[in-house]
């Protein structure tokens, strides 16, 4: 019998799946010589070490975190579906009403674009008060800021450019309860370098291709560092959701007057 076949015999025996014939064969081999007994002992040692490792209880927070994240997604899905359903229903039943909606939305977007383009108000004014200095040790240049408000939470988002031209995307979330925050980016342009959380409350994060998802509760500061592989800097999406609803916006990492931005 080859060594490999003997090893299989021993594995089956120690695994509890050896047939009576295999057991008899093994007993015969073990009685035959010291080498077989030594090899049996070696394999038995591996089994013994593996079987000494006990199953571990999952952290108590695991279940709650998963269920909160799942409920948050279900809520977000139902909200998105609800709005989309409402609009589609309106379009389907009354085409004239749909055209009216389209015209109204176009007019509002056009007016806002005109106002921003003409300098009537800046982005900080558009999105709310600009908040500075709330993030992790600032360095580089502040490029863009947004402020999102949703029932039960306020989020300040900032994008900074470091001395090495990497982007530091920072979210300062102040929430009364559980929240979920997403940062989305073009994965063909941006590569994540690192992710940091300050003051997390046991939540979790998932950094996947083109998206960072964070679930937490209370207040938390998040920093995602990205490196751009090309000169183009597509906008970064920010989404926040709580049990009270959700809000989204974008951060633009490439302003026209880059050289005029103040250094910190």
Site for other proteins, rule CB under 8 A: 7-8, 11-12, 15, 17, 42-59, 61-63, 65-67, 69-71, 73-74, 78, 194, 204-208
Is 4 strand, coil or helix? helix
Return the number of the residue (76 or 254) whose C-beta is nearest other proteins: 76
Distance CA 83, CA 102 (A): 15
Neighbours of 202 (CB within 10 A): 14
Return the number of the residue (116 or 193) whose C-beta is nearest other proteins: 193
| Least separation in angstroms between CB 214 and other proteins | 11
| Least separation in angstroms between CB 176 and other proteins | 21
Return the number of the residue (41 or 264) whose C-beta is nearest other proteins: 41
Give Cα separations from 228 to 13, 185, 188, 233, 250 (angstroms): 57, 10, 9, 7, 17
| Least separation in angstroms between CB 110 and other proteins | 36
Return the number of the residue (47 or 258) whose C-beta is nearest other proteins: 47
Is 26 strand, coil or helix? helix
Distance CA 202, CA 215 (A): 9
| Least separation in angstroms between CB 15 and other proteins | 7
State how far Cα 168 lies from the chain centre. 16
- Please name every residue paired with 235 in a beta bridge, in sequence order, or none if there are none: none
Return the number of the residue (154 or 200) whose C-beta is nearest other proteins: 200
Distance CA 200, CA 179 (A): 12
| Least separation in angstroms between CB 206 and other proteins | 4
């Amino acid at each position: 019998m080859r060594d490999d076949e003997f090893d299989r015999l021993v594995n089956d025996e120690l695994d509890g799946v050896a047939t009576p014939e295999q057991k008899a064969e093994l007993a015969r081999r073990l009685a035959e010589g010291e080498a077989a007994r030594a090899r049996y002992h070696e394999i038995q040692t591996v089994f013994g070490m593996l079987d000494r490792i006990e199953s571990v209880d999952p952290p108590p927070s695991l279940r709650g975190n998963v269920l909160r994240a799942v409920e948050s997604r279900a809520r977000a899905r139902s909200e998105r579906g609800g709005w989309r359903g409402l609009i589609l229903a309106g379009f389907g039943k009354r085409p004239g009403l749909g055209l009216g909606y389209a015209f109204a939305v176009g007019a509002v977007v056009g007016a806002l674009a005109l106002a921003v383009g003409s300098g009537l108000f800046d982005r900080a004014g558009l999105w709310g008060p600009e908040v500075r200095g709330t993030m992790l040790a600032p360095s580089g240049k502040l490029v863009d800021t947004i402020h999102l408000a949703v029932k039960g939470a306020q989020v300040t988002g900032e994008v900074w450019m470091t001395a090495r031209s990497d982007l530091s995307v920072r979210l300062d979330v102040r929430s009364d309860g559980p929240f979920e925050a997403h940062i989305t980016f073009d994965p063909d342009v941006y590569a994540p370098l690192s992710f940091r959380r300050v003051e997390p409350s046991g939540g979790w994060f998932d950094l996947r291709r083109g998206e960072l998802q964070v679930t937490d509760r209370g207040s938390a500061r998040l920093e995602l560092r990205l490196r751009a592989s090309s000169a183009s800097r597509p906008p970064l999406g920010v989404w926040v959701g709580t049990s009270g609803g959700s809000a989204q916006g974008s951060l633009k990492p490439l302003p026209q007057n880059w050289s005029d931005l103040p250094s910190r």
